[in-house]
Amino acid sequence: MRPLLLLIIVLLTACSAPMPRESGSVNISTYRAQSDNVELISYARSLLGVPYHYGGNNPDQGFDCSGYVSHVYNHVAGIKLPHNSAQISRYGRFVYRTDLRDGDLVFFNTSRQKYSHVGIYIGNDIFIHAPSSGGSIRIDELSNPYWQRNYNGGRRIIE
């Protein structure tokens, strides 16, 4: 019974990213996409404001972090990614933070577990993601102390 309870707790905390203590939101009106991957970024941004929903993987239902990333990649590029951020972290190739390009995935430890949260890098040190219960798809800065402290790395899925 105890392993089952532990599994349920881990699943419920997956993709749950608390609000950073410092304000990390970006004024999206100042953001201009300068991207090799314009369509991916454009579609990802079109979903801003869609509510967070644990286990969600479509705009009508809402998204959790991995459901959001999986949906965007499948919708735009036909790439099917798992609905689990740790599993997604095994796809593509590792990219150093200084080498991130638009459309790369960025991973964070938000629940005392590596790769427990994922977002899409959209350039200029910012990323878009489904943060947590009560939230919605939003843009944040990688340089925000919360995200910097919990950053696990980047992956490039599309070359």
Residues with a catalytic annotation lie at 65, 117, 129
- Whole-angstrom Cα distance, residue 40 to residue 44? 6
Q: What is the pTM of this model?
A: 0.82
pLDDT tens by residue, 36-62: 489 999 999 999 999 999 999 999 999
**CATH assignment of 25-156, among 3.40.50.1000, 3.90.1720.10, 3.40.50.2000, 1.10.240.10:** 3.90.1720.10
pLDDT tens by residue, 6-41: 434 444 445 555 444 333 444 433 333 333 489 999
